[in-house]
Structure 1
Amino acid sequence: MITDRPLILVVNDDGITAPGIKVLIEEMQHLGEVVVVAPDGPQSGMGHAITIGKPLRLDKVELYPDVEMYKCSGTPVDCVKLAVNRVFKGRKPDLCVSGINHGLNNSINVLYSGTMSAAVEGAIEGIPSIGFSLDDFSYDANFNHCRPYVRSIAAQVLQNGLPKHSLLNVNFPNDSFDLQGIKICRQAGGRWVEEFDERLDPHGRDYFWLTGKFQLEDRGEDTDVHALQHGYVSVVPTQFDMTAHHVIPELNSWSFDIPND
């Protein structure tokens, strides 16, 4: 793995055979030497989960020409950890890209996303990182309109780097839009209103199927949701420091009376 070209780690949460990762691999091959470490099956909604208490498998596979590829039995974050510690053997990649996810990771979805958590893990490791997602959950989603933007955004990160402890969350409208360009946005305020569909299994035991609807609580025109609704590619600078810094002064004004008993 000795090359003068930028070394690019590609990961996802839809699994190593997903169409979205194939598009990402092809676009990254224009920019550098690509190494893929991805889950052996779908891992959507895993967030920043890691595997403990059971072994991880890492197997080399050959799916695409001239690409070093490994499938991992663990989560997207496991994939990044194994890539950094075992595959690259101490050499840090120049870029980590995750996706292209089948489905949006805008607004609050960033917290649940395996795609974005893999990119976050890359940033934790000090690697400039990007998560890419498309507003289309179907297996045969059309990613062609994303290609030039994927390459352009990745090239800019390779050229300019990113501030420490930050990464990019990039979301694309589906192919029903004529893309208007890129908008740098903030994350929209929103949440999922969950419902649990209760059913019976063949043995008469209750089980639950999670459903729900996304509830937008933010009508700002500078958000990722607004940009996507108007045909723009949304780019949200993201960080993994979850400290509510603006709350610290208020907490410092409290009097904490410690009971003596």
Structure 2
Amino acid sequence: MSEKPLILVTNDDGITAPGLRALIAVMNEIGDVIVVAPDSPQSAMGHAITINSTLYCSPITIDDGPQIEYSCSGTPADCVKLGVNEILNTRPAICVSGINHGSNSSINVIYSGTMSAAVEAGIEGIPAIGFSLLDYNWEANFEAVKDFVKTITLNVLENGLPDGVVLNVNFPRLKREEIKGVRVCRQAKAYWVEEFDKRTNPQGRHYYWLTGNFINEDHGEDTDEWALANGYVSVVPVQFDLTAHHAIQKLNTWKLNE
């Protein structure tokens, strides 16, 4: 039996995405790799799971390598659930998700399929990391961030993570020699102002494309947005207990039982 750690790898860009292939290559240097990834892009799926249709998960070979791979018809969260409960039948030492093509910093973590896969693993008690690169190009340069991916993963394997916490890691779009280092940050207070591009199809029916502008009103130098804008890798510890603990005392002053 191998003494290497068992690593579950997934993503939201799909099984053939270059970012996933780069992540697999790094994980193969660390442990025994099982890949369960969507068979098609699942970006911005958040923590959706499949409950009203069937799920399919089949072995697949994309490229040479010691990893074992499966292509799943479901969402990133589905991939983790199936990977842990059906394919591995055991808990892996760690789950890594990505490397996403595009940012998952600040408020984007809410919508992210990449991070939802990591959160699903965390819910099941598995240390987990979501990795993202601020480059939407399919041919993005993932080589520049591989050593950071390896170092961060090894640190999590060695040190573990606090209960209820997973890591959201974002990389700036820079050459390796231009990246200044790693910053542990908080999530910036930023948001999207949505707009909808309304159009009409040839049959006269209206349809919409979601567009919008990203607004960052947080000027703190301890945020992920600041780190990325200034050439650093951002590492944000994310908790999936959504309770607003600071609000409980205030709500207890309301006359809720009268």
2:33 is paired with a residue whose SS is strand
Residue type of the alignment partner of 2:183? K
| Two-structure CA RMSD over aligned residues (Å) | 1.0
- Which string of whole-angstrom CA distances, capped at 9 and with x for unpartnered residues, describes residues 215-261 of structure 1? 11211100000000000000001110011111111111112254xxx
Give the distance between the partners of 2:52 and 2:107, measured in 1 at CA: 29
Give the distance between the partners of 2:95 and 2:87, measured in 1 at CA: 14
Structure 1 partner of 2:238: 238
Give the distance between the partners of 2:207 and 2:2, measured in 1 at CA: 52
2:246 equivalent to 1:254:
no
Q: Which runs of 5+ in 2 are unaligned?
A: none
The aligned length equals 256
Give the distance between the partners of 1:181 and 1:114, measured in 2 at CA: 26
Structure 2 partner of 1:103: 102
- Shift, 1:95, TM fit: 0.5
Structure 2 partner of 1:8: 7
Give the distance between the partners of 1:79 and 1:217, measured in 2 at CA: 35
- Which string of whole-angstrom CA distances, capped at 9 and with x for unpartnered residues, describes residues 151-183 of structure 1? 000000011111111010000000257000000
Change (3 A) 1:8 1:234: same
TM-score, normalization by structure 2:
0.97
Residue type of the alignment partner of 1:87? I
Give the distance between the partners of 2:165 and 2:73, measured in 1 at CA: 27
Structure 2 partner of 1:83: 83
User: Greater shift after overlay, 200-209 or 171-180?
Assistant: 171-180
Structure 1 partner of 2:37: 38
- Which string of whole-angstrom CA distances, capped at 9 and with x for unpartnered residues, describes residues 104-125 of structure 1? 1000000000000000001001
Counting only pairs closer than 5 Å after superposition, residues 1-261 of structure 1 correspond to structure 2 as 2-64=1-63, 65-89=65-89, 91-175=90-174, 178-256=178-256, 258=258
1:108 is paired with a residue whose SS is helix
Give the distance between the partners of 1:92 and 1:256, measured in 2 at CA: 43
- Shift, 1:67, TM fit: 1.1
Give the distance between the partners of 1:256 and 1:147, measured in 2 at CA: 53
Residue type of the alignment partner of 1:36? V
- Shift, 1:53, TM fit: 1.0
User: Greater shift after overlay, 199-208 or 113-122?
Assistant: 199-208
Give the distance between the partners of 1:201 and 1:86, measured in 2 at CA: 44
- Which string of whole-angstrom CA distances, capped at 9 and with x for unpartnered residues, describes residues 42-97 of structure 1? 000000000111000001001232110000000000000000110011x1100000
Give the distance between the partners of 1:11 and 1:202, measured in 2 at CA: 39
Residue type of the alignment partner of 2:250? E
2:156 is paired with a residue whose SS is helix
- Shift, 1:4, TM fit: 1.6
Q: Which runs of 5+ in 1 are unaligned?
A: none
Give the distance between the partners of 1:16 and 1:211, measured in 2 at CA: 27
* Identity across matched positions, percent: 58
Asked if 1 retains the 8 angstrom alpha-carbon contact of 2:104 and 2:112, the reply is yes
